[in-house]
Amino acid sequence: MSKQGRAYRYYVLGVLLVAYAFNFLDRQVLSVALESIKVDLVLSDTELGVLTGVAFAIFYSVVGIPIARWADRGNRAVIISLCLGLLSVTVALCGVVANFLQLMLVRVGVGVGEAGVVPPAHSLVATYFERSERLRAMSIFLLGGPLSMAVGYLVGGWITQFYGWRSAFLATAIPGVILAALVRLTVYEPRLAGDRPRDTEESHRDASGVAKPATCEAKPTAREVAGVLWGQRTFRYLLFAFAIDYLCGNGLLQWLPVFFIRVHAMSTGELGTWLALNWGVGNAIGTFLGGYLTTHATANAERRQLKIMAIIAAVYVPINIAVLLSPGKHLALTLLFFGALVNALATAPSFALIQSLVPEHMRATAVAALFLLGNFIGLGLGPFVVGVLSDGLARTYGVNALRLALLACTPGYWWVASQYYRASRTVMDDLANIERGQYAPAATSTTLA
């Protein structure tokens, strides 16, 4: 199979999809097993928030930047393979801890492993597929998220119910070792021979439009990369949108399984099955449909894409409120399916846009910058804030305390919608600058519109 051919490019895309899915698998297992962990280790909701948020996110966010800088210069396949191996070991260790401190320290290791998979994988997808194909490829790659949810909730829920939460983590770790070896042995890094897939040269053109080889790219310093990213108004708006999206989304994602267990008295096996169908299938349909429709209806029309993304974020708010206020579990779970589908419609367009806003040698760092702020604020504070609110409201509202804490997260998506709309007003100018090779910090405005 030729390393320049279409078949190989889609093989690499498939392997990276599975790597992306495994990268988040432990999060779903942890989420569905939280209530069991709380009982076994005698923890408060605040401590659960630390485990799912602060302890994990600080290292995930900070370590992601140097790893991404390495990925922008080095062998991305090797980096992904090494980090998948580390992730497998630390996830297995989650199943043998004896107390809160040990589990918190192991989650730090999990964060380091996860930090080295996503930015290099995004960068490789963008290298193998040109702008006209990138949105479709990104929508396929991002199906790893829903796949992670479906497998994580289903397998994690039933293993937790019948064999305990420790066995769920041990079972989750095993496939990662095989996947790490597969990436290392079969995924080709185009930089090795100084070449690239034949149709992905758009980010290697000079200001006159003449293609230049990848090896001619100067290696930018971290300060130069930061200047390019922050110099783009569109990137700043997307950065703010991601931060609030992650703040609200991770608060909801980590605690909704606990909500259904406490409020609707569901077992982990039953809940895992429902969440695999709702979040897994719903997200998969939304992710693929968002990429497919955008590719066919608004390809190379990023302004319109961002306006649609703003509408999606705004509509997601009332759906979430309805889920949390529904009197019965079946109605709540049905609404959750539609919420997952609607929210996922914006996933592929947003990540594809990020890859088009920067030159090839800055793409991994651009993704890592998004995840730095998004995860530091969102993943770090989202679950933690919900846990603190739940503990604070518990004495007065009892089992409904968690419901109220989650309701407090929901309106943030209206702010996300406003940032997407503001980005729609600047995106075409920023894309034009990139295509002309004008991506130095001085070439873009630094004032917010």
Q: What pLDDT is stored for residue 202 in this prediction?
A: 45
DSSP of 199-216, one letter per residue?
Answer: T--GGGB-TTS-B--GGG
Q: Looking at domain 6-437, which of 1.20.1250.20, 2.70.98.10, 3.90.1300.10, 3.40.470.10 is its CATH number?
A: 1.20.1250.20
Q: Are 276 and 25 in contact (CB under 8 A)?
A: no
- Report the distance separating Cα 400 and Cα 43, nearest Å: 19
User: Could you give the angle at which helices 76-94 and 100-115 cross, rounded to 10 degrees?
Assistant: 160
Would you give the DSSP letter of residue 410? T
- The pLDDT of residue 208 is 36
Which helix or strand (DSSP H or E) is residue 21 part of? helix 6-41
Q: What is the 3-state secondary structure (H, E, C) of 229-293?
A: HHCCHHHHHHHHHHHHHHHHHHHHHHHHHHHHHHHCCCCHHHHHHHHHHHHHHHHHHHHHHHHHH
Run of H or E residues at 76: helix 76-94
Q: Under a CB-based contact definition with an 8 Å cutoff, are residues 116 and 23 in contact?
A: no
pLDDT of residue 261: 94
Answer yes or no: are the C-beta atoms of 257 and 31 closer than 8 Å.
yes
Burial annotation 254-290 (CB, 10 A radius, 16+ → b, else e): bbbbbbbbbbbebebbbbbbbbbbbbbbbbbbbbbeb
Please report which helix (H) or strand (E) contains residue 88, including its range.
Answer: helix 76-94
Joined together, the tokens standing for residue 112 give 């380091």
Q: What is the pLDDT of residue 50?
A: 85
Instruction: Mark the ranges of the chain whose per-residue pLDDT is less than 70.
Output: 1-4, 55, 193-222, 295-300, 360, 437-449
pLDDT at residue 201, rounded to an integer: 44
Rounded Cα distance, 16 and 13, in Å: 5
Other Cβ atoms less than 10 A from the Cβ of 425: the count is 15
**Tell me, what's the pLDDT at 439?**
57
CA gap 89, 94 in Å, rounded: 9
Task: Evaluate whether 206 touches 437 at the Cβ level (below 8 Å).
Answer: yes
- Phi and psi at 233, nearest 5°, equal -60, -40
Domain residue spans of the chain: 6-437
**Inter-CA distances, 273 with 265, 314, 337, 386, Å:** 15, 28, 13, 24
Cα atoms found within 13 Å of the Cα of residue 388, Cβ hemisphere only: 10
Asked whether 99 and 136 are in contact (CB, 8 A), the reply is no
pLDDT digits (tens, 9 = 90+) for 160-207: 999 999 999 999 999 999 999 999 999 999 877 655 544 444 444 443
What per-residue confidence (pLDDT) applies to 211? 39
Tell me, what's the pLDDT at 403? 95
Residue 438 is predicted with a pLDDT of: 60
Cβ(46)–Cβ(388) under 8 Å?
yes
Dihedral pair phi/psi, residue 246, rounded to 5°: -70, -35
Residue indicated by tokens 């600080």: 58
Span between the terminal Cα atoms of the chain, in Å? 49
Q: What is the pLDDT of residues 105-136, one digit of tens each?
A: 998 889 889 888 988 998 899 889 887 788 78
